[in-house]
Amino acid sequence: MEKHLDRVMDEVVNKPGVFGCVFVNHQGLCLGAKGKASTESAGLIAAIAEQAAKLEPHSSAPIVTLETDNKTCIIQRAGTITGAIYKNRSS
């Protein structure tokens, strides 16, 4: 079961500019992390996605982008799973 998720995470991390990704279940527990991504942020990522979805309850799940000077974190919930992708901003 994890093999499939592992393969997906490998694919994501190998995309240009991406340096890490985390996947989280509906309880905020980490399903997997690759690259320079911390498993400790799993709960917060799920919380951010959940809170953002409350802004527009009748729309589909929003994509949340957190931007710093040189990095971007993109968070989206799909069903019970929330994914976060960390990217370098220059690319």
The residue within the footprint of another protein, chosen from 3, 4, 16, 27 (CB under 8 A), is: 27
Calpha distance 36→74 (Å, rounded): 14
Q: How far is the CB of 80 from another protein (least distance, A)?
A: 11
| # chain residues binding another protein, by CB under 8 A | 13
Q: Per CB under 8 A, does 28 bind another protein?
A: yes
Helix (H, G, I), strand (E, B) or coil at 51: helix
Reported in sequence order, the residue ranges of the chain that DSSP labels E, i.e. its strands, are: 18-24, 30-35, 63-67, 71-78, 81-88
Interface ranges with another protein (CB under 8 A)? 24, 27-30, 40-44, 46-47, 50
